[in-house]
Amino acid sequence: MRQSAGQRLRSAVEAERPLQVAGAINAYAAMMAEQVGFRALYVSGAGVANASFGLPDLGITSLNDCVEDVRRLSSVTELPILVDADTGFGSAFQIARTVQQMERAGAAGIHIEDQVAAKRCGHRPNKAIVSQAEMTDRIRAAADARADSQFVIMARTDALAVEGIDRAIERARACVEAGADMIFPEAVTRLEDYKAFAEAVQVPVLANITEFGLTPLFTTEQLASAGVGLALYPLSAFRAMSAAALLVYKAIREEGTQQSVIDRMQTRSELYAFLHYLDYEQRLDRLFGIEKGVD
């Protein structure tokens, strides 16, 4: 019997510690990540806002915006997809709808955070969080709404930067009691803090290894030593793609040709290989009775 998406994510967490989760901003990025061996993918809220809509990560995009990006990924890969659901996109009934829509779109799980609705990037100052009671209500609403009991509900807490390590751990434990399967402590700066979370909650803990933020770029070996279960790289490829695209745009504009940057580009044959283009073309030829070498 085929495993559900949630089961595939849970199995991946058991098979690889920490499980490296690759952020993919579109379907083609997902295909490349799968090709190089990643076992799980991630749809970032910031990625949806930045890449799909040209907006900052400030809670501006909607559930439907996010779900559409999830559908695009799940249509091209069987890898389990963890999705950033921000604050759940509303109160209890809307959180339930978020879970239901994400399951139908092919997601393996979501994380919901404890920031207020007018949220900020987790690595920026002046974050504000809701009460512990309100956060646990969010988790209960999400856990109660899933049709597949294996669909992963992950609780993200930004309390470390706001209230300190002890209160953040207390909040994380309360989320587990409310039904969270995994914990995502945001903006952690020390390995010993990850270890403290892992020992306290006794469920898989995710480390957000995002560039240019507050968390050092810990290696998987370091994270494993601290008991971390998942290592997330939410926008690494997107940042590299953006830098390369800007370089190419500038070269074409300034030099009147792309000749100086052609070596920075993926070739047509490499693109075709990822997309299995020639297989599609051969099917088209068979469909219309086109013989090779015949005009």
The active-site residue, picked from 72, 140, 146, 156, is: 156
Let me know if residue 198 belongs to a domain.
yes
What is the pairing mode between strands 230-233 and 206-208?
A: parallel
pLDDT above 80: residue 293: no
pLDDT in tens, 236-249: 999 999 999 999 99
217 and 93 inside one domain: yes
Let me know if residue 28 belongs to a domain.
yes
Q: Which residue has the tokens 């695209």?
A: 245
263 and 188 inside one domain: no
Catalytic (active site) residue 113: yes
Catalytic (active site) residue 86: yes
Mean pLDDT, residues 179-202 = 97
Let me know if residue 246 belongs to a domain.
yes
Please report, in range form, the residues annotated as the binding site for substrate.
44-46, 121-122, 156, 186, 208-210, 239, 268
Mean pLDDT, residues 204-221 = 97
pLDDT above 80: residue 221: yes
The active-site residue, picked from 97, 121, 148, 173, is: 121
The active-site residue, picked from 138, 186, 194, 233, is: 186
Please report, in range form, the residues annotated as the binding site.
44-46, 84, 86, 121-122, 156, 186, 208-210, 239, 268
The active-site residue, picked from 8, 10, 57, 114, is: 57
pLDDT above 90: residue 291: no
pLDDT in tens, 278-288: 999 999 989 98
Mean pLDDT, residues 258-267 = 96
Please report, in range form, the residues annotated as the binding site for Mg(2+).
84, 86
Catalytic (active site) residue 42: yes
Number of other CB atoms surrounding residue 253 within 10 Å: 8
pLDDT in tens, 122-158: 888 888 999 999 999 999 999 999 999 999 999 999 9
Mean pLDDT, residues 171-188 = 97
Catalytic (active site) residue 186: yes
Catalytic (active site) residue 57: yes
Higher pLDDT, 244 or 289: 244
92 and 154 inside one domain: yes
Let me know if residue 294 belongs to a domain.
no
Per the structure, the complete domain to which residue 156 belongs is given by 5-235
pLDDT at position 119, please? 87
18 and 85 inside one domain: yes
pLDDT above 90: residue 289: no
The active-site residue, picked from 34, 86, 114, 181, is: 86
The active-site residue, picked from 34, 69, 103, 113, is: 113
Give the ranges where the chain is alpha helix by DSSP (H). Answer: 5-15, 27-35, 45-47, 53, 63-74, 92-105, 132-145, 159-163, 165-178, 191-201, 220-225, 236-255, 268-275, 277-287
pLDDT at position 292, please? 60
Mean of all residue pLDDT scores within the chain: 95
pLDDT at position 69, please? 97
Let me know if residue 26 belongs to a domain.
yes
Mean pLDDT, residues 215-242 = 98
Number of other CB atoms surrounding residue 52 within 10 Å: 16
pLDDT at position 294, please? 47
pLDDT in tens, 93-108: 999 999 999 999 999 9
Let me know if residue 187 belongs to a domain.
yes
Catalytic (active site) residue 123: no
Mean pLDDT, residues 50-59 = 94
The structure tokens listed for 253 are: 């504009």
